Amino acid sequence: MTTPTSLIEAVKFFSDVDRCNEYMVRIKWPDGKITCPKCGACGDRIGKIETRKMLRCKDCRKQFSYKVDTIFEDSPLGLDKWFVAVWCIVNAKNGISSYELHRALEVTQKSAWFMLHRIRLAMQEGSFQKLSGVCESDETFVGGKSKNMHKAQRAQKITGRGAVGKAVVHGVLARGGKVIAEVVKNQKRRSLQPKIRAAVEPGSTVYTDALKSYEGLEDMYAHEMIDHAKEYVRGDCHTNSMENFWALLKRCINGTYISVMPWQLSKYVDEQVFRFNERKKTDGERFDEVMSRTVGRRLTYRKLCET
């Protein structure tokens, strides 16, 4: 089965439910032997219910769908809509809002919002491979601007400099390679340095700004700092690549999603990290990559609202 190369091709290609089911078999059971999730029977012991587009185990008589044990499980929406939703979010540079998706797929906005969060779960990297070579470390703040607040609200929330009350996102980037970013509690040394040591191979070069929290990295890395109050580039020492990623993240949040709850910010960071790390792949390759991660992951609406 050849994966489409554009959105219009994807819409046409996955409009056939049988073709969607064949694609799910390819990513869930690469050997072609469908396995029962209850008793483990496989091969010719699994039959198809053509009228309902379902599967049935001849041993334990359990009926199950092609969506079982994936992020699509228990969804009343067809795979034709799910696949288009996946294509849109992984290939849209600035993401796609739930309102835009609900209009495109003719589902409710609430359903579209839930769909996007399920897909973001599949977009999480989950890799233990460390970065190496020349790396940059930096942090940014995500939150509302004081000029957009009511005077009374501004007096209540803004009690210090502009970063007060905002979420902190820290990132480490290997030049020409991947980025690792996540939400942290604060800018203090005990929050930032363990993230760098866990993400970067010892002996690598690490460039940071002049924040005092970065002092002390010299024991494991060739560490050099640049004071942005004086200069932004000194030879190879700069954090401009990391700043580029922050610009993409904030364009995504401010331009597409508008308002992001602090406790869900990490999911939007994961979404942008995936698109940045897979930027050299084609649209079809990015789609296949995310679809391969849908297996074995599940997110219920109750769990989503609790986080």
Over residues 202-221, mean pLDDT: 95
Establish if 142 belongs to a structural domain.
yes
User: Each residue of 252-297: pLDDT tens digit?
Assistant: 999 999 888 888 999 999 999 999 999 999 999 999 999 999 999 9
Q: Based on C-alpha coordinates, what's the Rg of the chain?
A: 23
Establish if 193 belongs to a structural domain.
yes
Establish if 223 belongs to a structural domain.
yes
My answer on whether 103 and 20 are in the same domain is: yes
Task: State the Cα angle at 300 between 294 and 305, rounded to 5°.
Answer: 125
Query: Which pLDDT value is given to residue 262?
Result: 86
Number of folded domains that form the chain: 2
My answer on whether 26 and 80 are in the same domain is: yes
User: Alpha-carbon distance 102 to 118, whole Å?
Assistant: 15
Provide CB contacts within 8 A for 88, sequence distance 6+: 7, 96, 101, 104
Range of the domain at 81: 7-126+284-306
Establish if 274 belongs to a structural domain.
no
Query: Which pLDDT value is given to residue 307?
Result: 63
pTM of the complete model: 0.89
Over residues 172-190, mean pLDDT: 94
